[in-house]
Amino acid sequence: MAARIIDGKALAAQVKARVRAGVEECVRQGVQPCLAVLLVGDDPASEVYVRGKAKDCEECGIRSLVERLPADTTQAELLARLAQLAADDSVHGILVQLPLPAQIDERAVIEAIPPQKDVDGFTPVNVGRMMIGEKCFLPCTPAGCLEMLNAAGVDPAGKRAVVIGRSNIVGKPAAMLLLARNATVTICHSRTKDLVSICAGADILVAAVGRPKFVTGDMIKPGAAVIDVGINRDENGKLCGDVDFAAAAEKAGCITPVPGGVGLMTRAMLMVNTLQAARNTL
Ligand code: NDP
């Protein structure tokens, strides 16, 4: 294997240690950072994510309020609870775990989160600020991808970056952040023609497709930095990314593993944003 592994576990631990120190300082100044997480229904994957977030908060010294609401919660009930949390000065970050049950309009809920408490970076105000390069809460997954490139010593400036995927939570913002770092960015999606050759020209390849081992060895430029966002199960039920790791690692310069990669950094970036939200109130 030629590629260096970008170790998400070690990096996330460093980030969380920095957050912990920042939280202690914040507490000394009289503010206890607090994250409220709302979970509607009993989706098992969401339950795992929410438990992970509570554990991260505990490690960082952040107070967490996890509220579980029944699956038949109405949109009005959820919005009413969000309004209370929005008005509560002791709560600095608010996160509504997605996906939401069918009776609830996801956009309406996201837009009910005040931008200054939107630690997921999903509200239109934060997305707009990111687009124009203003200070804002960056969405955690793409921010984590950029941190991983940084840790690997990869400066996007002047490089060809290819992002596969154009979702609002990963693909599009990842492309924007790479552009802000002066990469020349191509965004690919399900209608893209010549995907293999476009990817094979990438110095930086970000895969956010949601298909196990979709990125094959022939799509990797020798020496490329490969960031694998995907969280999938392979044919044996084993966790895997969007990249065929073994084949890609033969050619890449550096690569993130799954598990142990972007997922852990995503969680760490949520802690960074929550601390920032609390600091902004000092
Ligand atoms: P979405 O399903 O919202 O987006 C997938 C994107 O991939 C779409 O833009 C789609 O194109 C594109 N796509 C699908 N098939 C192809 C294809 N054959 N060729 C080219 N492009 C294709 O997924 P998300 O962005 O939410 O998530 C992507 C992956 O990342 C998932 O595995 C998810 O589990 C994981 N994830 C991981 C996180 C982490 O913390 N590590 C956080 C969030 C997500 P089109 O728009 O044309 O349909």
- Give the pLDDT confidence of 70-112 residue by residue, as tens digits: 999 999 999 999 999 999 999 999 999 999 999 999 999 999 9
Residue 209 beta carbon below 6 angstroms from any ligand 1 atom: yes
CB-based contact 149:227 (threshold 8 Å): yes
Cβ of 191 closer than 6 Å to ligand 1, yes or no, is: yes
Q: What percent of the chain has pLDDT over 90?
A: 99
CA 45/CA 240 separation, integer angstroms: 15
CA of 42 to the centre of ligand 1 (A): 23
Using CA positions, which residue lies closest to atom 31 of ligand 1? Answer: 210
What distance in angstroms lies between residue 45's CA and the mean position of ligand 1's atoms? Answer: 17
Burial 200-232 (b: 16+ CB within 10 A, else e): bebbbbbbbbeebbbbeeebbbeebbbbbbbbb
Q: How far apart are CA 51 and CA 205, in angstroms?
A: 30
Model confidence band, residue 220 (pLDDT cutoffs 50, 70, 90): very high
167 lines ligand 1 (CB under 6 A): yes
Catalytic residues: 53, 97, 120
Instruction: Compute the distance from residue 98 Cα to the ligand 1 centre, in Å.
Output: 15
pTM of this prediction exceeds 0.95: yes
Q: How many C-beta neighbours within 10 Å does residue 4 have?
A: 14
What's the rounded mean pLDDT across residues 23-31? 98
The arithmetic mean of pLDDT across residues 15-39, rounded, is 98
In the numeric block, the tokens 């996007």 are attached to 156
At 2, the pLDDT band (50, 70, 90 cuts) reads: confident
192 lines ligand 1 (CB under 6 A): yes
User: Number of H helices and number of E strands within the chain?
Assistant: 10, 11
Per-residue pLDDT for 1 more than 90? Answer: no
Kindly tell me if the per-residue pLDDT of 199 is higher than 80.
yes
